Amino acid sequence: MSLTIGDIDAVCNLVNDLCGICLDSSKSYLIESRLGQIVEKHGCKDYAELVKKVRLGVDSQLTNQFVDAITTNETLFFRDKYLFEAFQYKALPELIDARGKTAFPTRVRIWSAACSTGQEPYSLAMTIAEMIPDVHRWDIQITATDISDAAISKASRGVYAKHEIERGVSQERLKRFFYPEGDGWRIRDEIRGMVSFNRKNLLEPLGQTARYDMVFCRNVAIYFTREVRQDLFRRIAQTMVSDGYLFVGAQEFLADVGPNFTPHQHCRSSFYRPNLTAPVPHALVRS
Ligand SMILES: C[S@@+](CC[C@H](N)C(=O)[O-])C[C@H]1O[C@@H](n2cnc3c(N)ncnc32)[C@H](O)[C@@H]1O
């Protein structure tokens, strides 16, 4: 089924309204390849009719299928070596030292926003397990969220095909943190238990404030307009403790998102720390 200019506009506007993602007419191949089957499956005469059906909002399954199809879930384990080094050798040790002086010395809260199929939060959990020998005694929670139901359910299962494992997992980590299942590999309970998965749209309210010690929001805001990015990072700052760490994608820079974060450098990687006007309490300081 061929796309008209009107179809492209209708689809792009809907994608923008649902997910904040900016598509334009140069992405018509993407629209056709990802939505063509849904148009046919739901008996729509064209893309504009599919858009109308989704906009009606009565068929949540259809909306989910639309979102699953249009989002780009590209990810891999330990994506961006330098960022993981900054996490492992700079942010995590500093955080552990800082928390040691509080009433909750073993509590760590991390948010992997736009976690896709789970490789990012599991990579963080594996790194933590390597850094903290008695990790089972710690109170670690990695909250992993994504707008795509399909991505979240795959992430929750924690089972990966050989080709997915080969993208980033060393033999040593494979032996330690996975076991074979069918043709693939399942993440061990020790790592799975550190991560909880939920569906969350970053355009919607982010919930509780001053909660996260670290936020990873990588390779998603690049698809948003400048205004949406600015608003998102302003709201993300509010979810973080005052001495928290924010990590963004290797190709992302927060220079244009306003005064909410200050950049820091570790070797070949950058991270950000929130500039909170009013101090937000982190773990209660021991008297
Ligand atoms: C390219 S993946 C990035 C995954 C991972 N953070 C990484 O860097 O490897 C982008 C993810 O953002 C999600 N996404 C897109 N729009 C979103 C939104 N409005 N709210 C939450 N997640 C969104 C997509 O479903 C996709 O899984």
CATH number at residue 65: 1.10.155
Q: Are residues 115 and 209 in the same domain?
A: yes
With respect to residue 76, please indicate whether it lies within any of the assigned structural domains. Answer: no
Which of 70, 96, 126 is the endpoint of a domain?
70
Q: Are residues 65 and 108 in the same domain?
A: no
* Contact present, 41 and 35 (Cβ < 8 Å): no
Q: Are residues 107 and 36 in the same domain?
A: no
Ligand 1 atom nearest the C-alpha of 112 is 6
Structure confidence at residue 277 (pLDDT): 63
Structural domain of residue 233, as residue ranges? Answer: 81-274
Q: Are residues 148 and 31 in the same domain?
A: no
Query: From ligand 1's centre to the CA of 100, what distance in Å?
Result: 33
Query: From ligand 1's centre to the CA of 265, what distance in Å?
Result: 24
**Atom 9, ligand 1: residue with shortest CA distance:** 75
Reported as a single tens digit per residue, the pLDDT across 199-248 is 999 999 998 787 999 999 999 999 999 999 999 999 999 999 999 999 99
Query: From ligand 1's centre to the CA of 72, what distance in Å?
Result: 7
Structure confidence at residue 285 (pLDDT): 41
Query: From ligand 1's centre to the CA of 147, what distance in Å?
Result: 7
Rounded-to-integer distance, Cα 72 and Cα 218, Å: 13
Q: Are residues 176 and 57 in the same domain?
A: no
Ligand 1 atom nearest the C-alpha of 76 is 9
Q: Is the dihedral of CA 73, 229, 93, 268 positive or negative?
A: positive
Q: Are residues 248 and 129 in the same domain?
A: yes
With respect to residue 171, please indicate whether it lies within any of the assigned structural domains. Answer: yes
Reported as a single tens digit per residue, the pLDDT across 44-79 is 999 999 999 999 998 999 999 999 999 999 999 999
**Atom 10, ligand 1: residue with shortest CA distance:** 220
In sequence order, the 6+-apart residues with CB closer than 8 A to the CB of 144 are 111, 112, 115, 118, 120, 121, 155, 195, 196, 197, 198
The sheet with strand 261-266 has its strands ordered as 195-199, 139-146, 107-113, 212-217, 240-248, 269-274, 261-266
